[in-house]
Amino acid sequence: MSTVPVYVGLDYHQAAVQVCVLDGRGRVLANRSCGNDSRMIDEVVRPHGESVQAAIEACCGAADLAEELIQGFGWSVDLAHPGFVNRMKQNPDKTDFGDAHLLADLERVGYLPRVWLAPEEVRELRRLVRYRQQLADERRNVKLRIGAALREQRVARPEANPWTKAWRYWLEREAPLSSQSRWIIERQLHRLDQLAQEIVEVENRLEEMTAADPIVGKLRQQSGIGLVTAVTMRAEIGRFDRFRSGKQVARFCGLSPRNASSGERQADAGLIKASNARLRAVLIEASHRLMRTPGPWQELGRRLRSRGKPGSVVAAAVANRWVRWLYHQMQPAVLAA
SS3 of residue 115 by DSSP: strand
Rounded average pLDDT over 107-136: 95
What domain range includes position 204?
120-209
Single out the residue of 27, 32, 24 nearest to residue 5, CA to CA.
Answer: 24
**End-of-domain residue from the set 191, 209, 227:** 209
Q: Is residue 246 domain-shared with residue 305, that is, in the same domain?
A: yes
DSSP single-letter state for residue 161: P
Kindly state whether residue 1 falls inside one of the protein's structural domains. Answer: no
The Cα–Cα gap between 100 and 34 comes to 12
User: Please, are residues 216 and 90 in contact by the beta-carbon 8 Å criterion?
Assistant: no
pLDDT digits (tens, 9 = 90+) for 178-191: 999 999 999 999 99
Q: Is residue 330 domain-shared with residue 219, that is, in the same domain?
A: yes
Question: Phi, psi at residue 159, to the nearest 5°?
Answer: -70, -25
Q: What is the pTM of this model?
A: 0.87
Q: Is residue 106 domain-shared with residue 50, that is, in the same domain?
A: yes
Looking at residue 259, its pLDDT comes to 72
User: Please, are residues 45 and 61 in contact by the beta-carbon 8 Å criterion?
Assistant: no
Is beta strand 52-57 parallel, antiparallel or unpaired with respect to 76-80? parallel
Q: Is residue 45 domain-shared with residue 130, that is, in the same domain?
A: no
Residue 63 contacts by C-beta under 8 Å, 6 or more apart in sequence? 79, 117, 118, 123
Looking at residue 299, its pLDDT comes to 96
pLDDT digits (tens, 9 = 90+) for 17-67: 999 999 999 999 999 999 999 999 999 999 999 899 999 999 999 999 999
User: Please, are residues 121 and 97 in contact by the beta-carbon 8 Å criterion?
Assistant: no
Question: Phi, psi at residue 132, to the nearest 5°?
Answer: -60, -40
Q: Is residue 85 domain-shared with residue 144, that is, in the same domain?
A: no
**End-of-domain residue from the set 187, 209, 231:** 209
Kindly state whether residue 181 falls inside one of the protein's structural domains. Answer: yes
pLDDT digits (tens, 9 = 90+) for 240-298: 999 999 999 999 999 988 776 666 666 566 787 878 899 999 999 999 999 999 999 99
Question: Phi, psi at residue 50, to the nearest 5°?
Answer: -90, -25
Number of domains in the chain: 3
Identify the helix (H) or strand (E) that includes residue 261: none
DSSP 198-231: HHHHHHHHHHHHTTT-HHHHHHHTSTT--HHHHH
User: Please, are residues 9 and 20 in contact by the beta-carbon 8 Å criterion?
Assistant: yes
Q: Is residue 218 domain-shared with residue 320, that is, in the same domain?
A: yes
SS3 of residue 159 by DSSP: coil
The Cα–Cα gap between 64 and 311 comes to 41
Looking at residue 335, its pLDDT comes to 66
Q: Is residue 286 domain-shared with residue 265, that is, in the same domain?
A: yes
Single out the residue of 128, 319, 318 nearest to residue 216, CA to CA.
Answer: 128
| Amino acid code (one letter) for 36 | N
Kindly state whether residue 316 falls inside one of the protein's structural domains. Answer: yes
Q: Percent of the chain having pLDDT more than 70?
A: 96
Kindly state whether residue 100 falls inside one of the protein's structural domains. Answer: yes
Single out the residue of 118, 286, 124, 119 nearest to residue 205, CA to CA.
Answer: 124
SS3 of residue 57 by DSSP: strand
The Cα–Cα gap between 69 and 62 comes to 11
Q: Is residue 222 domain-shared with residue 332, that is, in the same domain?
A: yes
Q: Is residue 110 domain-shared with residue 144, that is, in the same domain?
A: no
Kindly state whether residue 97 falls inside one of the protein's structural domains. Answer: yes
Q: Locate all alpha helices (DSSP H) within the chain, ordered by sequence.
A: 38-45, 62-73, 82-88, 96-109, 120-152, 165-173, 179-209, 214-220, 227-237, 246-252, 277-291, 296-306, 311-329, 331-336
Question: Mean pLDDT across the chain, nearest whole number?
Answer: 92
pLDDT for 117 beyond 80: yes
CATH of the domain at 82: 3.30.420.40
User: Please, are residues 188 and 180 in contact by the beta-carbon 8 Å criterion?
Assistant: no
Single out the residue of 50, 206, 215, 290 nearest to residue 302, CA to CA.
Answer: 290
